[in-house]
Amino acid sequence: MSSLFPALTEALADPDGTAARRSALRFGDRSLTYGELAATAVPLAARVGEAGRIAVWATPTLETAVAVVAALLAGVPAVPLNPKSGGSELGHIVADSAPTLVLAPPGDQLPPALTALERVDIDVRASRPTAPSAPYPPVLDRDLAPETPALVVYTSGTTGPPKGAVIPRRAIATTLDALADAWQWTGDDVLVHGLPLFHVHGLILGILGPLRRGGSVRHLGRFETAGVTRELSTGATMLFGVPTMYHRIAETLPDDPALAKALAKARLLVSGSAALPVHDHQRIAEATGRRVIERYGMTETLMNTSVRADGEPRAGTVGVPLPGVGLRLTEEDGTTAVEAYDGETVGEIQVRGPNLFTEYLNRPDATAAAFTEDGWFRTGDMAVRDPDGYVRIVGRKATDLIKSGGYKIGAGEIENALLEHPGVREAAVTGEPDADLGERIVAWIVPADPEAPPSTDELADHVAGRLAPHKRPRVVHYLDTLPRNDMGKIMKRALTHD
Interface ranges with ligand AMP (CB under 6 A): 155, 200, 272-275, 294, 296-299, 318, 379, 381, 393, 396, 403, 408
Residues 50-89 that bind ligand MCA (CB under 6 A): 84
C-beta of 237: minimal distance to ligand AMP in Å?
21
Q: Work out the burial of residue 363: count CB atoms within 10 Å of its CB; fewer than 13 is exposed, 13-18 middle, 19 or more buried.
A: middle
Which position's Cβ is nearest ligand MCA?
A: 405
Is 464 among the residues that bind ligand MCA (CB under 6 A)? yes
Backbone angles phi, psi at 436, to 5 degrees: -85, -50
477: enclosing H helix or E strand: strand 475-478
Q: Does residue 386 belong to the site contacting ligand MCA (CB under 6 A)?
A: no
- Which H/E stretch holds residue 416? helix 411-419
CB nearer to ligand AMP: give 144 or 361: 361
Give DSSP secondary structure letters for 331-354. -TTSSSBP---SS---EEEEEEST
Closest by alpha carbon to 294, among 280, 279, 310, 274?
Answer: 274
Sequence-ordered list of residues with C-beta below 8 angstroms from that of 384, at least 6 positions apart, any chain:
329, 342, 343, 344, 345, 346, 347, 391, 392, 394
Residue 201 within binding range of ligand MCA, rule CB under 6 A: yes
Q: Are 72 and 150 in contact (CB under 8 A)?
A: yes
Using CB under 6 A, which of the segments 191-199, 249-257, 424-432, 483-491 binds ligand MCA? 191-199
Binders of ligand MCA among residues 295 to 314 (CB under 6 A) are 297-299
Q: Is 108 in the site for ligand MCA (CB under 6 A)?
A: no
CB of 106: closest distance to ligand MCA in angstroms?
A: 21
| Window 225-284: residues binding ligand MCA (CB under 6 A) | 242, 244-245, 272-273
For the bound state, the minimum distance from the C-beta of residue 300 to ligand AMP, rounded and expressed in Å, comes to 7
Q: Choose between 248 and 396: whose C-beta lies nearer to ligand AMP.
A: 396
**Per CB under 6 A, which region of 115-123, 156-164, 426-434, 462-470 contacts ligand MCA?**
462-470
Q: List the single partner that 460 binds among ligand MCA, ligand AMP, none, CB under 5 to 8 Å by kind.
A: ligand MCA
Cα separation, 224 vs 192, in Å, equals: 11
# binding residues, ligand MCA (CB under 6 A): 25
Out of ligand MCA, ligand AMP, none, which partner does residue 321 contact, by CB within 5 to 8 A per kind? none
| C-beta closer to ligand MCA: residue 42 or 192 | 192
Checking DSSP bridges between strand 438-447 and strand 424-434, what pairing results, if any?
Answer: antiparallel
* 347 interacts with ligand MCA by CB under 6 A: no
**CA Rg value for the chain:** 23
Q: Could you say which DSSP state residue 110 is in?
A: P
Nearer to ligand AMP, 6 or 316 (CB): 316
Task: Considering only the stretches 119-127, 195-203, 211-219, 391-399, report the one whose residues sit in contact with ligand MCA under the rule CB under 6 A.
Answer: 195-203
Please classify residue 104 by burial: count the beta carbons closer than 10 Å to its beta carbon, then call 0-12 exposed, 13-18 middle and 19+ buried: buried
Rule CB under 6 A: is residue 26 a binding residue for ligand MCA? no
Nearer to ligand AMP, 296 or 360 (CB): 296
3-state secondary structure of 461: helix
Using the minimum distance from each CB to ligand AMP, give the nearer residue, 51 or 298: 298
Phi-psi region of 264 (alpha: psi -120 to 50; beta: other; left: phi over 0): alpha
The smaller minimum CB distance to ligand AMP, of residues 216 and 273, is found at 273
How far is residue 173's CA from residue 3's CA, in Å, rounded to a whole number? 9
461 binds, among ligand AMP, ligand MCA, none (CB under 5 to 8 A by kind): ligand MCA
CA dist., res. 71 & res. 180, Å (int): 23
The reply to whether 202 sits near ligand MCA by the rule CB under 6 A is yes
**Element holding 384 (H helix, E strand):** strand 377-385
Among 407, 413, 427, 438, binds ligand MCA (CB under 6 A): 407
Q: Which does 195 bind (CB under 5 to 8 A by kind): ligand MCA, ligand AMP, none?
A: ligand MCA
What is the phi/psi pair of residue 286, to 5°? -65, -40
- Report the distance separating Cα 487 and Cα 498, nearest Å: 25
Q: Is 402 in the site for ligand MCA (CB under 6 A)?
A: no
Which residues of the chain form contacts with ligand MCA (CB under 6 A)?
84, 195-196, 199-202, 223, 242, 244-245, 272-273, 297-299, 405-407, 460-461, 464, 469-470, 472
